[in-house]
């Protein structure tokens, strides 16, 4: 029987992000690609409080349906925000997760618990006034600062207009996601509960915040391996799709 794989996209994107990976996995896997709240085909979140548990609950329901239908544990793949959700699920229901592959989860609680000076110094850039201003959250000036942090100065200006429009359409939800991520206090030790073989991917040119998070995860997840993607940054699953997808596919052949 083919292994079911749930693939989780990054913030501001949709399940379409993993189209090439789904094609790569198709011969040996059943790929399930849900959209997060407010993305793709999933309705927008209403105005009001939002926490990571709301998103986790959505994906838990997807996994429950897959397991009920197929009767097998699932593999989880995630990028950035989606990687954070994947790890949260993998550590809270380990008996139902067969394998995990994540590219640069965003783990504020982990680096705080480690008191990792390099990561925390890098995080100061995400505390810029524009990025914490609720009134501007999700606006174009907010996205310019946000995208440039993750991808380098000028990244937003170089982005094609249709891609900018796609991000801005989800702007307020992406801002809510970032607020929820900041509030997460899950410490490093909690990830030791992940029992599935786990591939941890990071880009050679990515911010120190996520590189250091990958390092600490590799110390505590028992069956983990780490891959640094040469020349890649935080958007490696898109800019270096062939290398990233090949690594994920190889990891899932267990």
Band of pLDDT at residue 74, cut at 50, 70 and 90:
very high
Would residue 137 count as lying in a domain?
Answer: no
CB 224 within 8 A of CB 3: no
Would residue 134 count as lying in a domain?
Answer: no
Strands of the chain (E only): list them.
3-8, 29-32, 74-79, 97-103, 198-203, 224-229
Nearest to 96 by CA among 67, 112, 73: 73
Q: Regarding beta strands 74-79 and 97-103, do their DSSP bridges make them parallel or antiparallel, or are they unpaired? A: parallel
Taking CA atoms, 49 is separated from 29, 45, 177, 231, 254, in Å, by: 36, 10, 11, 38, 40
DSSP-assigned beta bridge partners for residue 77: 7, 101
Would residue 93 count as lying in a domain?
Answer: yes
Would residue 131 count as lying in a domain?
Answer: no
pLDDT tens-place string over residues 173-195: 999 999 999 999 999 999 999 99
Q: Say how far apart CA 203 and CA 235 lie, in whole Å.
A: 8
Nearest to 107 by CA among 220, 213, 233, 226: 213
* CB-based burial, 107-117: b 16+ in 10 Å, e otherwise: bbbbbbbbebe
Would residue 120 count as lying in a domain?
Answer: no
pLDDT tens-place string over residues 5-31: 999 999 999 999 999 999 999 999 999
Confidence at residue 64, expressed as pLDDT on a 0 to 100 scale: 97
Classify 235 as helix, strand or coil. coil
pLDDT tens-place string over residues 191-249: 999 999 999 999 999 999 999 999 999 999 999 999 999 999 999 999 999 999 999 99
Nearest to 210 by CA among 234, 245, 235, 181: 234
Report the CATH number at residue 10. 3.40.50.1820
47, pLDDT greater than 90: no
Mention every residue, 6+ apart, whose C-beta is less than 8 A from residue 36: 8, 9, 11, 42, 55, 58, 81, 82, 85
Classify 135 as helix, strand or coil. coil
Domain count, the chain: 1
Confidence at residue 1, expressed as pLDDT on a 0 to 100 scale: 66
Taking CA atoms, 212 is separated from 49, 172, 207, 216, in Å, by: 30, 28, 9, 6
pTM comes to 0.96
Would residue 27 count as lying in a domain?
Answer: yes
CB 244 within 8 A of CB 201: yes
pLDDT tens-place string over residues 84-135: 999 999 999 999 999 999 999 999 999 999 999 999 999 999 989 999 999 9
Would residue 136 count as lying in a domain?
Answer: no
Confidence at residue 140, expressed as pLDDT on a 0 to 100 scale: 97
* Structural domain that includes position 217: 3-115+186-252
């Amino acid at each position: 029987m083919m292994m079911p794989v749930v693939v989780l996209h990054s913030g501001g994107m949709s399940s379409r992000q993993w189209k090439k990976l789904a094609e790569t996995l198709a011969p040996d896997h059943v790929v399930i690609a849900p959209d997060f709240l407010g993305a793709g085909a999933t309705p927008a979140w209403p105005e009001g409080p939002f926490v990571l548990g709301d998103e986790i609950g959505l994906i838990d329901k997807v996994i429950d349906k897959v397991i009920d239908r197929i009767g097998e544990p699932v593999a989880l793949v995630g990028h950035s925000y989606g990687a954070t959700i994947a790890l949260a699920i993998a550590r809270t229901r380990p008996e139902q997760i067969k394998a995990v592959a994540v590219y640069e989860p965003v783990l504020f609680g982990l680096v705080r618990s480690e008191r990792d000076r390099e990561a925390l110094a890098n995080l100061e850039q995400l505390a810029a006034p524009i990025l914490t201003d609720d009134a501007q959250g999700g606006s174009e000036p907010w996205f310019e600062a946000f995208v440039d942090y993750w991808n380098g100065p000028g990244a937003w200006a170089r982005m094609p207009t249709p891609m900018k429009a796609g991000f801005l359409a989800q702007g307020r939800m992406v801002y809510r996601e970032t607020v929820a991520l900041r509030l997460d206090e899950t410490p490093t030790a909690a990830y030791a509960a992940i029992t599935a073989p786990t591939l941890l991917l990071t880009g050679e040119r990515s911010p120190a915040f996520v590189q250091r998070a990958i390092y600490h995860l590799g110390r505590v997840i028992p069956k983990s391996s780490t891959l640094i993607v040469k020349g890649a940054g935080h958007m490696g699953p898109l800019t270096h799709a062939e290398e990233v997808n090949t690594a994920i596919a190889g990891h899932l052949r267990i």
